[in-house]
Structure 1
Amino acid sequence: MSTTDTVAADAMHATHATATAGAIVLTEDDLDPFITHASTRRWLTGPGLPCDSGLFSFTQLCADGGPRTVADSTGDPGERLSAELRDQLVVGHLLGPAGLETESVLLDGATGEVSTTYFFHDRPDLMDRRPLAPSLPTLVRFAAATDELAGLRGQFAAYAGRWGTEAVARASRQLLAVFEEGADGAPASLWRMAALIRPLALVAGPGTASGLALDLPVRLLDREFGRRGVGRFEEVDFPATLTHEPTRRFLCETGLPEDGFLFRLDTDLPLRTLAEYYDEDSDDAPGAFRADRLPAHADRLIRLGRLVEGHSLVVDGATGAVLDWSEPDSALYPLNTDVSTLAFTLWLLHREHAVDEESGHALTSEAYDQLAMTMIQVLSAVDPTGTTTDADWHYWTELFQDKAGGVL
């Protein structure tokens, strides 16, 4: 008997939704009277929904003993839910960075179509639906393909050990073809973002030659920002406390974008330590900041440039760690693992802008929150520094999610 047959047989004898053989399987009783769509019923009592998708969580089905309507889930105070939402079934959640649940996944029990919504329990009249997939089998297939790209396995196993812009382009086309085939050429915005943004993580491989976290392709930044848009340094530009050799070499040979949109590189003067920066009069730091509020090791923190107002990007001269120095908080926050992942972050943001412009700004206009989530997931996959749930504050993730500021 196949694994699928085993799961289906187990489901026939179960009395509640169960997690079996890596899948969440429902019983016929769980489906009544909510789900009348025949092929959807067969799928939920047969193969079921995955337990371990990197994109979705369906475990609530086990806790609730099956799907619940949106009306039941909200309590619908004052009956303010729209008619199209009232009888939709809550089957799971879309997962954001670090596995946090974001949007709820909805199933239409009559048609089998899948969508998402944000719950506003106090204002259900503001809730609406966004298309996700024409059916549950399609949703599972799309999620599996996205997970396979992230893990470089399955249909994307051939990309293991392949890095660079050509690998990015090929993987993007391959993933987009999966989505277009399963959605009659018009996949939902989440899948278009996945196909265009997630493969960008393949541009750089693990650091071996550089001694840093990543080995960036030669001239990657020059091609993206223009050679004149990339600032490089000479040995005479470095303070004596910048002793981390891979960082010195990277800043000399590869450099950083002078204007990374959310970051501006210091190029007018030799690089200074944070202590020297505040000791000298300048337009940015007129000497009003008290020296006793600086970190104890300010003499080995080298200021590379400016972030948003009141924030400086600094590198630890001894370790190469890249940090965000917040003047208002008098605090250091993790920013990037090192200058190689900083360069990747700036490249990622610039590339997203280019992709969005090529699409007629479809990415930012259709579902900004899903785009921000996708960008954070790509960044955290390449450089988890500062993007974990236990981080107090992280410059990139906060600004990616700043829809009002239009960062993406």
Structure 2
Amino acid sequence: MSTTDTGSTAITLTEAELDRYVTHAPTRGLLAGPGLPAETDLLTFSPLRTHGLRTLADAAGGPFRVAEELRSRLVIGELLNPAGMTPESILLDGVTGEITTAYLFEPSDPRPFAPSLDTLLRFAAVTEELAGLRVRLATPAGQFGPRTVAEASRRLLALFEEGTDGRVPPYWKAAALIRPLALVAGPGAASGLTLDVPARVLDQEFGHGRVARFEEVDFPGTLTHEPTRRFLRETGLPEEAVLFLADTDVPLPTLREYFADERGGDYPLDELPAHCDHLIRLGHLVDQNSLVIDGRTGAVLTFSEPEATLHPLNTDVSTLAFTLFLLHHERTIDEHLGRELTTRAYDQLAAAMLHTLTTLDPTATLPETAWHYWTEILRNAPHGSL
């Protein structure tokens, strides 16, 4: 095995290394010639550098764990799933050149991925271009919104269908339908927040009359972060979304006021955070979690009642709104894909959603975030149960 420096380090294999495993001529040419990138935004081939070519039977711990027809598949890489998710291996059929994926603890259930290595690299490249597109659009003339999302999804699906004769694997369907959602809102140049989320985006997604917009009288005096006040007045939050129910019946209470007045004193106030008068409750999440905002900074957090602990949730209300939009949009996936992606390949859908979320809001990846509600929900939810 060797590496070639062409601006980035490529992984190549010698003819002698390939002779034992790979007979498919185009695949041999790619592996012995241009080679494979060690890592992209979506996947890594670095296991080749660590282990060399090895069969699925060897990688999974022995031939008795792998069906006979799968034993000779070659483990050449892994999908780069978000932290905490089990790595999914990329497998090569050395005779046909076909690419599949499988978990090494469950190697009898491979999933289609691409008809060839060359196609796989093209699919990965165009999907990664979305990140570059967002950067290029981050100008005063940049175009964001539902139309931009729809066009990006349309182009990706068309390319994937062309490359797979119309039989697009679930991973790439998720890439086409979920990852472009990062283009629904532009950088927060006007709002003073992370994102400029147009009010019409929430109205279109959740329905007119189902987005709560607050008035000045609804805000406690400790909500002093003006961009947050403006967002809640002009853009608002959905009254009800996946896992979230907003407080709309009364003026927004501080965390102390909520437990003292709304809960009838059934929670010990001395277990509340010391700065609870600056934490404004926007609503609640499942599992006895209050969704609160720090009135001084605009940061969005969860307060766990059983544990009496605060955890970072979103950078601000704009990325909270995007998260609720993303989770709600996932509910519409069935009508595009049937049940395949939200059941058998839900883990791949969840990975795409987490990647899209962290593209716009890095809260889950920050060193101070030891536990993150959205991440735990997405990666641990039973198939299609959100």
- Is TM (by shorter chain) over 0.5? yes
List structure 1 runs of 4+ shifted beyond 6 angstroms.
none
Residues 97 and 151 (structure 1), Cα distance of their counterparts in 2 relative to 1, 3 Å cut: farther
Question: SS of 2:75's equivalent?
Answer: strand
Q: Does 1:238 align with 2:225?
A: no
Q: Quick one: which of 6, 19, 34 aligns to 2:21?
A: 34
What's the Cα RMSD here? 2.0
More deviation in 199-208 or 32-41? 32-41
Say if 2:199 and 2:236, in contact at 8 Å, map to a contact too: no
Percent identity between matched residues is 59
Q: Does 1:360 align with 2:341?
A: no
Distance 2:281 2:345 in 1: 36
The alpha-carbon deviation at position 30 of structure 1 amounts to 1.6
Name the counterpart of 1:190.
171
Name the counterpart of 1:5.
none
Name the counterpart of 1:220.
201
Residues 228 and 68 (structure 1), Cα distance of their counterparts in 2 relative to 1, 3 Å cut: same
Q: What aligned pairs does 1:6-405 form with structure 2 within 5 A after superposition?
A: 16-21=1-6, 22=8, 23-64=10-51, 66-76=52-62, 79-97=64-82, 102-120=87-105, 127-152=108-133, 161-280=142-261, 282=262, 285-388=263-366, 391-404=369-382
Say if 2:344 and 2:383, in contact at 8 Å, map to a contact too: no
Say if 1:232 and 1:253, in contact at 8 Å, map to a contact too: yes
Say if 2:75 and 2:91, in contact at 8 Å, map to a contact too: yes
Say if 1:94 and 1:101, in contact at 8 Å, map to a contact too: no
Name the counterpart of 1:9.
none
Say if 2:157 and 2:176, in contact at 8 Å, map to a contact too: yes
TM-score (ref. length: structure 1): 0.89
Give the partner amino acid of 1:313.
Answer: L
The alpha-carbon deviation at position 406 of structure 1 amounts to 3.9
The alpha-carbon deviation at position 151 of structure 1 amounts to 2.0
Residues 89 and 200 (structure 1), Cα distance of their counterparts in 2 relative to 1, 3 Å cut: same
TM-score (ref. length: structure 2): 0.94
| Cα deviations by residue, 1:124-163 (Å, 9 ceiling, x for unpaired) | 6x6320010000000011011111112228xx96797221
Give the partner amino acid of 2:155.
Answer: Q
Q: Give ranges in structure 2 of 5+ residues lacking alignment.
A: none
More deviation in 195-204 or 362-371? 362-371
Say if 1:88 and 1:108, in contact at 8 Å, map to a contact too: yes
Distance 1:20 1:30 in 2: 20
| Cα deviations by residue, 1:356-405 (Å, 9 ceiling, x for unpaired) | 33433342033000000000000000111124576321111111123327
Question: SS of 2:312's equivalent?
Answer: strand
The alpha-carbon deviation at position 98 of structure 1 amounts to 5.3
Say if 1:206 and 1:213, in contact at 8 Å, map to a contact too: yes
Residues 99 and 134 (structure 1), Cα distance of their counterparts in 2 relative to 1, 3 Å cut: farther
Distance 1:293 1:230 in 2: 32
More deviation in 159-168 or 211-220? 159-168
More deviation in 170-179 or 313-322? 170-179
Distance 2:273 2:36 in 1: 50
Distance 1:405 1:29 in 2: 43
Say if 1:324 and 1:334, in contact at 8 Å, map to a contact too: yes
Residues 175 and 49 (structure 1), Cα distance of their counterparts in 2 relative to 1, 3 Å cut: same
Distance 1:159 1:131 in 2: 35
Distance 1:337 1:173 in 2: 30
| Cα deviations by residue, 1:255-304 (Å, 9 ceiling, x for unpaired) | 10000121000011111000111112x4xx34232112111100000000
Question: SS of 1:39's equivalent?
Answer: helix
The alpha-carbon deviation at position 209 of structure 1 amounts to 0.9
Question: SS of 2:22's equivalent?
Answer: coil
Say if 2:219 and 2:251, in contact at 8 Å, map to a contact too: yes
Residues 356 and 267 (structure 1), Cα distance of their counterparts in 2 relative to 1, 3 Å cut: same
Give the partner amino acid of 2:56.
Answer: V
Residues 164 and 386 (structure 1), Cα distance of their counterparts in 2 relative to 1, 3 Å cut: same
Say if 1:336 and 1:385, in contact at 8 Å, map to a contact too: yes
Give the partner amino acid of 2:90.
Answer: V
Name the counterpart of 1:10.
none
Distance 1:391 1:148 in 2: 28
Give the partner amino acid of 1:107.
Answer: L
Say if 2:346 and 2:384, in contact at 8 Å, map to a contact too: no
More deviation in 142-151 or 380-389? 380-389
Residues 366 and 405 (structure 1), Cα distance of their counterparts in 2 relative to 1, 3 Å cut: closer
Q: Give ranges in structure 1 of 5+ residues lacking alignment.
A: 1-15
